[in-house]
Amino acid sequence: MAQQKAALSFDLIAKCSVSRARASTMTLPHGPVELPMFMPVATQASLKGLTPEQLESLGCRLCLNNTYHLGLKPGQATLDAVGGAHRLQSWNHNILTDSGGFQMVSLLKLAKITEEGVRFLSPHDGSPMLLTPEHSMSLQNSIGSDIMMQLDDVIATTSPDKERIVEAMHRSVRWLDRCIEAHKYPEKQNLFCIIQGGLDLELRRECVKEMVKRDTPGIAIGGLSGGEEKAKYCAVVRTCTEMLPDMKPRYVMGVGYPEDLVVSVALGADMFDCVWPTRTARFGNAVTSRGTLNLRHASYAADFSPVDEDCDCPCCRSKENGGLGVTKAYIHHLTGKETAGAHILTMHNVYYLLDLMRNARQAIIADAYPSFVKEFFGKIYKYDTAEYPIWAVDALKTVGIDLTEA
Amino acid sequence: MNTFRVLKTAVTDVAATTTQPGATTAARTGVLNLSKGFTVQTPNFLAPTSRGVVPHISPDNFERNTGVEGVFVALEDFIEKAPQRIPPLYTYPSTLRSFISLPSSAFLLLSARRSPNITCPKANSDANLSILTSVGFRDLPIKDYVSAVIRLEPDIVLGIADIANTVSPGKNRVQKMVNRTVKWLDELLGSVYAGGSSSGGGDNNSTDEKDTVKKLPAVFAPILPLEKERQRFYLSHLVENVEKLSGLVFTTNESVDVVPEELAGLPKLQSDVVGGPHQVLEMVERGVDLFNVGFVGTMTDAGIALHFSFSADEVMDNGGKDKLDLATDMWDVKFATDLSPLEEGCDCYTCKTHHKAYIRHCLEAKEMTAWVLLQIHNLKVVERFFGGVRRSIEEGWWEKGRSGFEVKYTREMPVGTGLGPRLRGYQYKSVGGEGKLNEPAYRSLDSGDEDGL
Confidence grade of residue B199 (pLDDT, cut at 50, 70, 90): very low
Q: Is A7 on the interface with B (CB under 8 A)?
A: no
Rg (CA), chain A: 21
Lowest mean pLDDT among A217-221, A302-306, A308-312, B114-118: B114-118
Say what the pLDDT of residue B207 is.
Answer: 47
Nearest CA in chain A to B371: A49
What residues of chain A, 45 to 64, have a C-beta less than 8 Å from chain B? 45-54, 57
Task: Using an 8 Å CB-CB cutoff, list chain A residues near B441.
Answer: none
Confidence grade of residue B274 (pLDDT, cut at 50, 70, 90): confident
CA dist B303 → A40, B28, B438 (Å): 26, 33, 16
Say what the pLDDT of residue B197 is.
Answer: 41
Nearest partner of B107 among B57, B164, B34, B52, judged by Cα: B34
Q: Is the pLDDT of residue B436 over 60?
A: yes
Say what the pLDDT of residue B205 is.
Answer: 43
Q: How close is the nearest chain A Cα to the Cα of B43, in Å?
A: 28
Q: Are strands A94-97 and A62-65 parallel, antiparallel or unpaired?
A: parallel
Nearest partner of A286 among A352, A377, A338, judged by Cα: A352
| Phi, psi (deg, nearest 5) at residue A405 | -85, 145
Say what the pLDDT of residue B426 is.
Answer: 61
CB burial of residue B440 (10 Å; 0-12, 13-18, 19+): exposed
Q: Tell if the CB–CB gap between B51 and A301 is shorter than 8 Å.
A: no
Q: How far apart are CA A180 and CA A255, in angstroms?
A: 26
Nearest partner of B148 among B82, B89, B85, judged by Cα: B89
Nearest partner of B401 among B238, B256, B277, judged by Cα: B277
Of B56, B353, B361, the CB nearest to A73: B361
Say what the pLDDT of residue B325 is.
Answer: 94
Q: Is the pLDDT of residue B204 over 60?
A: no
Q: Tell if the CB–CB gap between B368 and A324 is shorter than 8 Å.
A: no
* pLDDT tens per residue, range A107-158: 656 678 899 998 887 777 777 788 999 999 999 999 999 999 999 998 877 7
Task: Using an 8 Å CB-CB cutoff, list chain A residues near B342.
Answer: none
Of A82, A108, A333, the CB nearest to B339: A82
Of B337, B368, B424, the CB nearest to A337: B424
Domain check: are B122 and B177 in the same one?
yes
User: Does an H or E element contain A360, and which?
Assistant: helix A339-365
Task: Report the alpha-carbon angle A370-A371-A372, nearest 5.
Answer: 90
**Listed residues B292, B326, B360: the one ending a domain:** B292
Say what the pLDDT of residue B431 is.
Answer: 67
CATH number, position B93: 3.20.20.105
Of B99, B355, B446, the CB nearest to A330: B99
Q: How far is CA A381 from the centre of its chain?
A: 25
Q: Is A301 on the interface with B (CB under 8 A)?
A: yes
Q: Is A89 on the interface with B (CB under 8 A)?
A: yes
CATH superfamily entry for domain A9-274: Queuine tRNA-ribosyltransferase-like (3.20.20.105)
Q: How far apart are CA B418 and CA B424, in angstroms?
A: 17
Q: Tell if the CB–CB gap between A88 and B361 is shorter than 8 Å.
A: yes
- Spell out a b/e string for A215-251, using b for 16 or more CB atoms within 10 Å of the CB, else e: bbbbbbbbbbbbebebebbbbbbbbbbeebeeebbbb
One-letter amino acid for residue A256 of the chain: G
Q: Is A121 on the interface with B (CB under 8 A)?
A: yes
Rounded-to-5 percentages of helix, strand, coil across chain B: 35, 15, 50
Kindly report the number of other CB atoms within 10 A of residue A267's CB atom. 25
Domain check: are B270 and B409 in the same one?
no
Q: How far apart are CA B447 and CA B445, in angstroms?
A: 6
Q: Is A314 on the interface with B (CB under 8 A)?
A: yes
Say what the pLDDT of residue A115 is.
Answer: 95
**Listed residues B241, B259, B292: the one ending a domain:** B292
Q: Is the pLDDT of residue A228 over 80?
A: yes
Q: Is B82 left (phi over 0), alpha (psi -120 to 50) or beta?
A: beta
Nearest CA in chain B to A325: B101
Q: Tell if the CB–CB gap between A69 and B57 is shorter than 8 Å.
A: no
Q: Tell if the CB–CB gap between A51 and B349 is shorter than 8 Å.
A: yes
Q: How far apart are CA B204 and CA A144, in angstroms?
A: 72
Domain check: are B95 and B227 in the same one?
yes
The answer to whether the CB of A219 falls within 8 A of the CB of A248 is: yes
Task: Using an 8 Å CB-CB cutoff, list chain B residues near A340.
Answer: 53-58
* pLDDT tens per residue, range B141-179: 999 999 999 999 999 999 999 999 888 899 999 999 999
Task: Using an 8 Å CB-CB cutoff, list chain B residues near A106.
Answer: 453
User: Angle at which helices B398-408 and B369-395 pack, to 10 degrees?
Assistant: 140
* 3-class secondary-structure state, position B401: helix
Provide the residue range defining the domain that includes B407: 303-427
Task: Using an 8 Å CB-CB cutoff, list chain B residues near A343.
Answer: 56, 58, 61, 368, 372
Say what the pLDDT of residue B340 is.
Answer: 98
Q: Tell if the CB–CB gap between A109 and B353 is shorter than 8 Å.
A: no
Nearest partner of B328 among B343, B295, B306, judged by Cα: B306
Q: How close is the nearest chain A Cα to the Cα of B197, in Å?
A: 34
For the annotated catalytic residues of A, the residue numbers are: 98, 273
Of A48, A49, A78, the CB nearest to B336: A78
Q: Stretch A355-360: mean pLDDT, rounded?
A: 98
CB burial of residue B234 (10 Å; 0-12, 13-18, 19+): buried
B8, part of any domain:
no
Q: Stretch B424-446: mean pLDDT, rounded?
A: 64
What residues of chain A, 157 to 216, have a C-beta less than 8 Å from chain B? none
One-letter amino acid for residue B157 of the chain: V
Lowest mean pLDDT among A97-106, A154-163, A366-375, B412-421: A97-106
Q: How many CA atoms lie within 13 A of A346 on its CB side?
A: 26
Q: Is A284 left (phi over 0), alpha (psi -120 to 50) or beta?
A: left
Q: Is A123 on the interface with B (CB under 8 A)?
A: yes
B265, part of any domain:
yes
Kindly report the number of other CB atoms within 10 A of residue B395's CB atom. 11
Q: How far apart are CA B129 and CA B140, in angstroms?
A: 5
Q: What is the ipTM of this complex?
A: 0.96
| Helical H segments across B20-126, by residue range | 59-65, 88-91, 96-99
Task: Using an 8 Å CB-CB cutoff, list chain B residues near A330.
Answer: 52, 99-101
Rounded-to-5 percentages of helix, strand, coil across chain A: 45, 15, 40
Q: Stretch B195-217: mean pLDDT, rounded?
A: 51
Task: Using an 8 Å CB-CB cutoff, list chain B residues near A50.
Answer: 369, 372
CA dist A17 → A23, A165, A225, A244, A252 (Å): 12, 36, 28, 18, 22
**All residues at 6 or more sequence positions from B37 whose CB lies less than 8 Å from its CB, including other chains:** none
Instruction: Please give the residue that has the higher pLDDT: either B103 or B321.
Output: B103
Q: Tell if the CB–CB gap between B358 and A90 is shorter than 8 Å.
A: yes
Of B55, B78, B367, the CB nearest to A338: B55
B351 is in an annotated binding site: yes
Q: Stretch A303-327: mean pLDDT, rounded?
A: 95
Lowest mean pLDDT among A138-147, A157-166, B239-248: A157-166
Q: Is A188 left (phi over 0), alpha (psi -120 to 50) or beta?
A: alpha
Q: Stretch B293-309: mean pLDDT, rounded?
A: 96
Q: How far apart are CA A257 and CA A276, in angstroms?
A: 8
In total, how many domains does chain B have?
2
Q: How close is the nearest chain B Cα to the Cα of A361, in Å?
A: 28
Q: Which residues of A are annotated as a binding site for Zn(2+)?
A: 311, 313, 316, 348
B443, part of any domain:
no
Q: Tell if the CB–CB gap between A325 and B98 is shorter than 8 Å.
A: yes
Domain check: are B264 and B307 in the same one?
no
CA dist A178 → A131, A132, A216, A219 (Å): 13, 9, 13, 17
Q: Which residues of A are annotated as a binding site?
A: 98-102, 152, 196, 223, 311, 313, 316, 348
Task: Using an 8 Å CB-CB cutoff, list chain B residues near A71.
Answer: none
Say what the pLDDT of residue A286 is.
Answer: 98
B25, part of any domain:
no
Of A46, A78, A110, the CB nearest to B337: A78
Domain check: are B219 and B351 in the same one?
no
* pLDDT tens per residue, range B14-41: 554 444 444 578 999 999 999 989 999 9
Domain check: are B255 and B228 in the same one?
yes
Q: How far apart are CA B124 and CA B177, in angstroms?
A: 10
* pLDDT tens per residue, range A251-277: 999 999 999 999 999 999 999 999 999
Task: Using an 8 Å CB-CB cutoff, list chain A residues near B370.
Answer: 46
| Helical H segments across B286-410, by residue range | 294-301, 349-353, 356-364, 369-395, 398-408
Q: How close is the nearest chain B Cα to the Cα of A218, in Å?
A: 30
* 3-class secondary-structure state, position A380: helix
Q: Is the pLDDT of residue B438 over 90?
A: no
What residues of chain A, 347 to 366, have a C-beta less than 8 Å from chain B? 347
Domain check: are B230 and B312 in the same one?
no
Instruction: Tell me: cis bond preceding B93? Omega within 30 of 0 counts.
Output: no
Domain check: are B53 and B168 in the same one?
yes
Q: Are strands B39-42 and A147-149 parallel, antiparallel or unpaired?
A: unpaired
Nearest partner of B365 among B342, B331, B399, judged by Cα: B331
Q: How close is the nearest chain A Cα to the Cα of B371, in Å?
A: 8
Q: Is A111 on the interface with B (CB under 8 A)?
A: no
Nearest partner of B57 among B417, B450, B368, judged by Cα: B368
**Listed residues B292, B323, B346: the one ending a domain:** B292
Task: Using an 8 Å CB-CB cutoff, list chain B residues near A85.
Answer: none
Confidence grade of residue B322 (pLDDT, cut at 50, 70, 90): confident
Domain check: are B342 and B272 in the same one?
no
Q: Is A53 left (phi over 0), alpha (psi -120 to 50) or beta?
A: alpha
Each domain of chain A, given as residue ranges in start order, spans: 9-274, 281-367
Q: How far apart are CA B361 and CA B359, in angstroms?
A: 5
B382, part of any domain:
yes
Of A73, A324, A333, the CB nearest to B60: A324
Q: How far apart are CA A141 and CA A158, in angstroms?
A: 32
Say what the pLDDT of residue B261 is.
Answer: 94
Q: Tell if the CB–CB gap between A329 and B88 is shorter than 8 Å.
A: yes
Domain check: are B236 and B272 in the same one?
yes
Quick one: three-class SS letters along A10-46? Answer: EEEEEECCCCCCEEEEEEECCEEEEECEEECECCCCC
Q: Stretch A209-216: mean pLDDT, rounded?
A: 97
Q: Look up residue B34 and give its DSSP letter.
A: P
Q: Is A82 on the interface with B (CB under 8 A)?
A: yes
Say what the pLDDT of residue A127 is.
Answer: 75
Lowest mean pLDDT among A64-73, B184-193, B433-442: B433-442
CA dist A90 → B328, B352, B355 (Å): 22, 10, 9
* 3-class secondary-structure state, position A338: coil
pTM of the full structure: 0.94
Q: How close is the nearest chain A Cα to the Cα of B383, in Å?
A: 21
Domain check: are B283 and B357 in the same one?
no
* pLDDT tens per residue, range A23-82: 999 999 999 999 999 999 999 999 999 999 999 999 999 999 999 899 989 999 999 999
Q: How close is the nearest chain A Cα to the Cα of B100, in Å?
A: 7
Q: Tell if the CB–CB gap between B88 and A342 is shorter than 8 Å.
A: no
Domain check: are B280 and B237 in the same one?
yes
| Phi, psi (deg, nearest 5) at residue B380 | -65, -40
